[in-house]
Structure 1
Amino acid sequence: MSKISKLQEIIDSSDNIVFFGGAGVSTESGIPDFRSQNGIYKSLKKYGDTPENLVSHSYYLEHTEEFFNYYKDNLVFKDAKPNPAHIALAKLEKIGKLKAIVTQNIDGLHQKAGSKNILELHGSIHRNYCQICGKEYELNHILKSDGIPKCECGGIVKPDVVLYEEPLNNAVLNFSIDYISQADTLIIGGTSLVVYPAAGLINYFNGKNLVLINKSETHYDNLSSLVINDAIGEIFSQIKI
């Protein structure tokens, strides 16, 4: 049996699927992984620092304007469109098989594809708020601002994204754990499972089918029911829903 046929069989026989995704889910939509070798080279050459430092809480506090320059150039892709993986997951949710999407991505592409129950571990570029009065702003406010985005009250408008050195949202984390622990199938895609605490969520899975779809190997491959080393959009484009 081919790996595509095996994945099709697992999806067809499951009625409580959770999907856990990382940067590789969005690369086929033209959003590069900013932590890739190319991303590191680009950030060192242009900004003189690593991506992890440039999107850290301390860098945001100490070099706020430079943070926003990097953020707008490297983490915001307003015109990106959902790829076959996003679309297939939305269809699986619509027919009742997929119960939740847990994502490390901040791009909002799952929402664009029509998915509803999305747990965004690292927040979203589409939510922004004033750090003084709490007023909410859309993405365009950030993109149109020169330098540091400001609220009408004078406060800085910060993206609702989890920076390095910041904790994950406990409510989102707990909901993710609940869904994963109750799932009969966990499909993990586009992540090498090395960024914690998000990668640790796999340890809460008690179900039957653990599926890993990633271009490169992961430390969890030997624990999986099915491993496919390929682009996730390419794989989901072959699944009948």
Structure 2
Amino acid sequence: MSDEIIELKNLIEKSNFVTFLTGAGVSVPSGIPDYRSKGGIYRTGSFETTPEYMLSHDNLVNHPDAFHGFTVENLYYPDAKPNIIHKKMAEISNKKGMIVTQNVDMLHTKAGAKNVIEFHGNLYDNIHCLTCGKEFDYKYYLKDGRHHEDNGVIRPGTTVLYGESVNPVNLMGAQKAVSDADLIIVVGTSLKVYPFAGLLRYRKENTKLVVVNKDDLDVSEADLTIADDAVNVFEQL
């Protein structure tokens, strides 16, 4: 066990409240591609426009069929299972903390985590017709993006699209989770998407900050940076 992992283990044991800030990298070991890394969705796809536009509110409204095709092809992995990172975070946060995630795959919840804020919503709750409000199972959405009784466009869950605002309840909850923590652990996120990336400004002065990421995020205020595969790190906690 490396000195860095030993130090992280000790920080967790001594802490009173641990807040995990997680992104797409946490779910890569479960078989879900991330967005911005070398093999991520935003780097490997062939798009007529930007992937950000494909996942935007404007695209949903103006080109619903294209939006549906892109979303189903790139975002839905209903058979994915939680990995050791999800499981260990669930164990720790259920005892003393919170998980604030950018991920829309619900794997933290599937791992048994009870204290989770899905900052950008998820793909599985409240899938509904924008015309009449009727709700649908995700399995229906995987086959069809329209409600044919009224030709309404179906929206995929509570997911926050580009051009939309984060749910204020999630935003305030995330800010509180950061301000309540005496240890914050950032895992699998580039910290480039706002307002998620701005959550660290709510960290208290004496709160320890740990970054676990294969690639250097250059988070200058971090007290500990572990440049290692998160699976390897969390298997040893």
**Under a length normalisation based on structure 2, what TM-score does the superposition of the two structures give?**
0.92
Per-residue CA deviation, residues 12-62 of structure 1 (Å, 9 max, x unaligned), is 101211111011111111111133444235432xx4222112111112222
- Cα shift at 1:154: 4.4
Per-residue CA deviation, residues 135-186 of structure 1 (Å, 9 max, x unaligned), is 33221121132xx232755432201211111111111000110111011111
Percent of paired sites with the same residue: 39
Structure 2 gaps, min length 5: none
Give structure 1 regions of 4+ aligned residues with deviation exceeding 4 angstroms: 151-154
Corresponding position of 1:89: 89
After superposition, the CA RMSD in angstroms is: 1.7
Corresponding position of 1:216: 215
- Cα shift at 1:121: 1.2
- Does residue 1:157 correspond to 2:159, yes or no? no
Corresponding position of 2:133: 134
Corresponding position of 2:107: 109
Please point out which of 157, 172, 175 is paired with 1:174. 172
Aligned length: 232
Q: 1:151 and 1:171 mapped to 2: Cα distance?
A: 33
Q: Which stretch shifts more, 9-18 or 28-37?
A: 28-37
**Under a length normalisation based on structure 1, what TM-score does the superposition of the two structures give?**
0.90
Please point out which of 197, 200, 204 is paired with 1:199. 197
Per-residue CA deviation, residues 66-89 of structure 1 (Å, 9 max, x unaligned), is 111110010111111111110001
Corresponding position of 2:10: 9
Q: Is the 8 A contact 1:28 1:83 kept in 2?
A: yes
Q: Is the 8 A contact 2:64 2:153 kept in 1?
A: no
Q: Which amino acid aligns with 1:197?
A: P
Q: 1:100 and 1:163 mapped to 2: Cα distance?
A: 24
Structure 1 gaps, min length 5: none
Structure-to-structure mapping, 1:11-160, within 5 angstroms: 11-38=12-39, 39-44=41-46, 47-94=47-94, 96-97=95-96, 99-127=97-125, 128-145=127-144, 148-150=145-147, 152=149, 154-159=151-156, 160=158
Q: Which stretch shifts more, 225-234 or 168-177?
A: 225-234
Q: 2:43 and 2:207 mapped to 1: Cα distance?
A: 41
Q: 1:151 and 1:29 mapped to 2: Cα distance?
A: 34
